[in-house]
Structures are given as structure tokens and as C-alpha cells.
Amino acid sequence: MTASMAHDDGDSTRAASWLRETARLGYAAIGVVYVLIAAIATRALLGWSGGENANPKHAMQWLELKSLFGTVALIAIGLGMLGYGAWRGLAAFTDPEHEGASPIGLLKRAGFLISGLTHAGLGAQAFYYAAGSIGAAHPSPSTRGGAAGWTASVMKVPLGRWAVFAVGVGIAMYAVYEVYRSVRWKIRDVLRNDRGPTLARDLTVWLGRTGMAIRAVVIGMIGVLLVRSAVDFDPSKAAGIGKAIAALGAWRYGWYAVAITAIGFAIYGVYQILMARFRKIDVT
């Protein structure tokens, strides 16, 4: 092996190690955001804020108000989300988890790419709020339309209404898949056996199954509300996480539904934090 080849291998190893560790930071960042969303939903239950504020954007805005601590937390969340996004996006092409080229495998890898892009966007948003916390100007939250805003934009183009309908159906189908996955996915197979006691891994599995199932209900509500907005041709009925939780709260036993959702999101957040330590992160 020549010196240049050894140098290239060293660079590749360092890059893989960096990606692996930032992906772990990403798991922790996702966990923190979900715990904050659970806290915001709990505040809504107590009448301190609206349930529609229980979403990643408002979680980051809350950190933005916390001076130095919030800035550091947002930067860490941004780095983690970008690292996680890069890892998921790379996995879509390199297939380190051996999903294969079957239709199901390709669908899963497409999901990795979508997940990567989504989390990279959340990472950019975290840096955006971090810049705001140290004095950089940015638009007020009221200037950003959220789910209703982009739905209205899509509905303006030809066949846009049907595109929104298709996205809503797709999200609802994904929610059903997440419920199935919460029961059938062998979480233990992706956990490292050389870290922590067996009890901690058992706890990770239980938290993962419970958190994924409850989160899937909210995802399904988002899909249903998108379909409803398309059918009624009313973009204001489109929803993100916060509005979906608020919609659950409008049910007859909505208080209990939101309480279960808040607990589920907290559980899911803790599960993600544990995954930061125990998950196998394959990058090649």
C-alpha cells in the first residue's frame, strides 16, 4: 500500500467516524426535540398554551429564548440533525443496512433519503434560530405559513389539489406502517451488545415500540387532515404536528388523547436518546 493510499484510507476512516458520531448526536437531538414537544403539549393540557404550538418549530423557538444555553443547544441540535440527515441520505445510496434492490428495499431506501432531507432541513432551521438567539434578524413566526401555507401554494398549481390528496394518503399509509413496525421491527437487532446492561437495551426496545405506536397516531392525523383539506379544497385544514395534536384535543375525550400523546412523545424522545448510545451506526 502506497503512502497516498494509506493517507486516503485514514481520511476515509476519519470521515466515517465523524459521520457516525454526528449521527449519534442526531439521535440525541431528535430525542430532545420530542421531549420538548411533549412538554409543550403538557402546557396545553394545563391551559398555559395552545396545543398547536407542540411542534419542532416552537420547541426550537423556546430554546431561542434561553440565552446562551439555548444557543448552544440549538447549535448542537443543528449539527446533530445535519449529521443524522447525511447518514440517512448516504444510506439510501450505499445501503449499509442491506435492504437490497427489491421493491420493498428500494422503498425503504427512498424513505432513508426523505428522512435525511427532512432532518437536514430541521438542522438548518436549528441554526436559523441559533442565529436569532445571538441577535441576527429573522422573520417573525407569523410570516411563515406552515402546513397550511405550503398546502395553499400547492393547490394553486394544476392538479395541486390531487397532489395534496396523494401526499395525505401517503402519510396516512406511512402511519399504518409505523404501527406495524412498532410491533414487528426487531429493534434489538440494530442495538450494540457491547454498551450498557441488558436491562437498558430491554428498556430501549419497550420505549421504542410504545413511542412509535403513539407517534403514528399523530402522523395518521396529519395525513387525514391533509386529505380533508384536499377534499374540501380548504388549505387551512392542513396540519403539522401541533395542529394534529390540537385536533385530537377537540375530540370528546380529547384531554386524555393529548395526555397520552404527550406521554408518548416523551417516551419516543427518551427512546431516541437511548438509541444515540446503543444503536449500530453503519456508514459503509
Indicate if the pLDDT at residue 231 is higher than 60: yes
Q: How remote is the C-alpha of 71 from its chain's centroid?
A: 20
Give the model's confidence band at 7: pLDDT under 50 very low, under 70 low, under 90 confident, else very high: very low
Does residue 5 fall inside a structural domain?
A: no
Smallest Cα–Cα separation from 61: which of 151, 3, 146? 146
Instruction: Name which residue leads in pLDDT, 47 or 225.
Output: 225
Does residue 47 fall inside a structural domain?
A: yes
Indicate if the pLDDT at residue 228 is higher than 80: yes
Average pLDDT of the chain is: 83
Smallest Cα–Cα separation from 272: which of 77, 91, 32? 32
Across 3-12, 68-77, 222-231, the highest mean pLDDT is recorded for 222-231
Does residue 269 fall inside a structural domain?
A: yes
Mean of pLDDT values over 62-79: 79
pLDDT at 9: 53
Mean of pLDDT values over 69-77: 85
- 103-133 and 67-94 are packed helices; what angle lies between their axes, rounded to 10 degrees? 160
Indicate if the pLDDT at residue 84 is higher than 80: yes
Does residue 9 fall inside a structural domain?
A: no
Percent of the chain whose predicted confidence (pLDDT) is above 70: 86
Cα 238 to Cα 230: distance, rounded to the nearest angstrom: 8
**Domain of residue 203, residue span:** 16-278
pLDDT at 104: 86
Mean of pLDDT values over 184-198: 84
The Cα-based distances of 44 to 37, 54, 148, 201, 259 in angstroms read 11, 8, 21, 32, 10
In tens, the pLDDT along 89-147 reads 988 998 888 888 898 889 889 989 999 999 999 899 888 888 876 555 454 444 445 67
pLDDT at 250: 79
Give the model's confidence band at 264: pLDDT under 50 very low, under 70 low, under 90 confident, else very high: very high
Q: Burial-class residue 9 by CB neighbours within 10 Å (0-12, 13-18, 19+).
A: exposed
Does residue 108 fall inside a structural domain?
A: yes
pLDDT at 34: 92
pLDDT at 2: 56
- Count how many Cα atoms sit within 13 Å of the Cα of residue 103 in the half-sphere of its side chain: 0
Give the model's confidence band at 6: pLDDT under 50 very low, under 70 low, under 90 confident, else very high: very low
Indicate if the pLDDT at residue 8 is higher than 60: no
Cα 177 to Cα 156: distance, rounded to the nearest angstrom: 31
Which cell numbers in the block locate residue 19? 459521520
Count of C-beta atoms within a 10 Å radius of residue 269: 24
Cα 116 to Cα 124: distance, rounded to the nearest angstrom: 12
The residue type found at 274 is L
In tens, the pLDDT along 148-172 reads 777 888 888 888 889 999 999 999 9
Which cell numbers in the block locate residue 236? 387551512
Mean of pLDDT values over 257-276: 93
Does residue 3 fall inside a structural domain?
A: no
Does residue 195 fall inside a structural domain?
A: yes
Indicate if the pLDDT at residue 205 is higher than 90: yes
Cα 89 to Cα 157: distance, rounded to the nearest angstrom: 29
pLDDT at 5: 45
DSSP the chain: --HHHHHHHHHHHHHHHHHHHHHHHHHHHHHHHHHHHHHHHHHHHTTSS-GGG-SHHHHHHHHHTSHHHHHHHHHHHHHHHHHHHHHHHHHHHH-TT---SSHHHHHHHHHHHHHHHHHHHHHHHHHHHHHHHTT-----GGG--HHHHHHHHHHTSTTHHHHHHHHHHHHHHHHHHHHHHHHH--GGGGB-SSSS-HHHHHHHHHHHHHHHHHHHHHHHHHHHHHHHHHHTT-GGG---HHHHHHHHHTSTTHHHHHHHHHHHHHHHHHHHHHHHHHB-----
Does residue 35 fall inside a structural domain?
A: yes
The residue type found at 152 is A
Tally of structural domains, the chain: 1
Mean of pLDDT values over 271-275: 95
